[in-house]
Amino acid sequence: MLYELLYPLHEQAEWLSWLNVMRYVPFRAIAAWFTAILMYFLLFPGFLRALKSHQVGQNIREEGPEAHQVKAGTPTMGGSLLLLSIVTPTILWADVRNEIVWLTLALIVALGLIGFADDLLKVQRNSNRGLSGWQKFSLQLLTAIVISWMLFFWTDLPQDWLDVRYRLALPFVSTKKFFPEVAAFYTGGDPFVSLQINRFVYAAFAVVVIVCFSNAVNLTDGLDGLAIGPVLINATTFLFLAYLAGATFFGISLAKYLHIPSIPSSSELVILCASIIGAGVGFLWYNTFPAQVFMGDVGSLSLGGAIGMLALATKNELLSVIIGGIFVLEAASVVTQVVSFKLLGRRVFRMAPLHHHFELKDWAEPKIIVRFWIISVLLALFALSSLKLR
């Protein structure tokens, strides 16, 4: 919004020429970061008082670790302010003519509303049971289907996205001179190795990506700061990937140089990533052990959906399995536990998700959190190394 309002003014008068800086994505990303973190810090004291006055406290499930019972009553739904501090700076500093940005924001807000309804029911019922599993999953699925349909069937989208949207980029794979058998999959002279996917199959795949990441972050949000740390690392990684996909230096496309999909319009997602980082840092300040506030489903579902959408919009769906490895492991531990118990009658882990397993092995909560963060950083660096291994 501010981009459309201020940038044209740089030609109106010489003393306004400095507003030319508005056309640079890095400048607007930094501005969005500052706006997001400032919003969270300024609004949080009043927000926390409102949560306490309305007795919006966390209910701890009885089947969880006993040590968690001391956290009962800690204000929850902190993700509401987190969401506001992401959406507002993005609208202020991103190019609002970019449809991909609006689709991403729509997904984040829709999933946030589902999480808000779930959190609100838990508070009203004074229990850890909100929406039923099927209700929550059905709403997530419906949201993901609508967004995926628009991504893969709507024609009123940036042309650079339309050129690559049915092509699945293959990470850690070199150019066609090393793999001539995949040359048939090249179109438009782009140097990245990809597979052409049927649009219905790709749309279904996109639904899986969004729903899986949304639930994976939700499952990870079980310790103070455990989920928001990897979210910040993931957002930073996608910030670089989105920028590289659209950046051009001296007429040279960095995307083509690095053999990744060239999607100039995706560079506006850098603003969204910066907003997530800024708001996330603000939230982490109060959510770090021992937490003053929990994000709740309103935060975890929307942040997970954002990661899934960023993976789709930058054509890094396969690489996102590595980038979001912590979330993948947490979700996989739950699936493994359920399947093993149903089929074999035995548990693989002492408790799922995975972080509870380490809690029951007497690992201190801060140790689990920091080690998961470290693993997330290593996975992000490994994923980024794919840029030079193609």
* Residue 230 belongs to domain spanning: 2-388
Report residue 51 as tokens. 């949560």
Predicted model pTM: 0.92
Q: How many residues are there in the chain?
A: 390
Tens of pLDDT along the chain (390 residues) come to 776 776 566 656 666 666 677 788 999 999 999 999 999 999 999 998 888 887 765 655 555 555 555 456 688 888 999 999 999 999 999 998 999 999 999 999 999 999 999 988 888 887 777 888 899 999 999 999 999 999 999 988 999 999 999 999 888 876 555 444 444 444 444 567 778 899 999 999 999 999 999 999 999 998 989 999 999 999 999 999 999 998 877 777 888 888 888 899 999 999 999 999 999 999 999 988 888 889 999 999 999 999 999 999 999 999 999 999 999 999 999 999 999 988 888 889 888 899 999 998 989 999 999 999 999 999 999 999 988 766
Among 123, 300, 324, 127, which Cα is nearest to 238's?
324
Contact 267, 249 (CB under 8 A): no
Give the count of domains, the chain: 1
Contact 230, 323 (CB under 8 A): no
Angular region, 73: left φ>0, alpha ψ -120 to 50, beta rest: left
- DSSP string covering 277-316, please? HHHHHHHHHHHSSSPS---HHHHHHHHHHHHHHHHHHTT-
